[in-house]
Amino acid sequence: MSKKISAEQVERIADLSRIGLSEEEKQKFQEDLGSVLNYIDKLQKVDVSGVDAIANITGLHNQVREDENGSSHADSQMLMDMAPNKKDGYVKVRQVLTK
């Protein structure tokens, strides 16, 4: 069964997306979105009952370590001492954003 999407539905989607479409673009998107819906219908008919769900295909996992406070980390007081301008425990910089 061929899915059709109406011109009103395309206009609504464009409205929600905050994009303006010409009449020619609306017609093209009507056809393209209909094709996408038809493809989704095909995918829903595929038998995947014997396929395990997976999160990724690489088999890689994040490698993390525990945070450690030690000599390998910079001393915050040493870094503050190196800052040219300080105020209330923060590094003071020039204003970056203007009104």
* CB burial of residue 10 (10 Å; 0-12, 13-18, 19+): buried
Q: How does pLDDT run along the chain (99 residues), one tens digit per residue?
A: 567 899 999 999 999 999 999 999 999 999 999 999 999 999 999 999 998 888 788 888 888 888 776 655 567 788 888 999 999 989 999 888 876
Residue 74: the pLDDT is 64
Residue 70: the pLDDT is 63
Backbone angles phi, psi at 6, to 5 degrees: -80, 160
* CB burial of residue 53 (10 Å; 0-12, 13-18, 19+): exposed
Residue 12: the pLDDT is 95
Identify the structural domains of the chain with CATH numbers, from first to last: 7-44 (1.10.20)
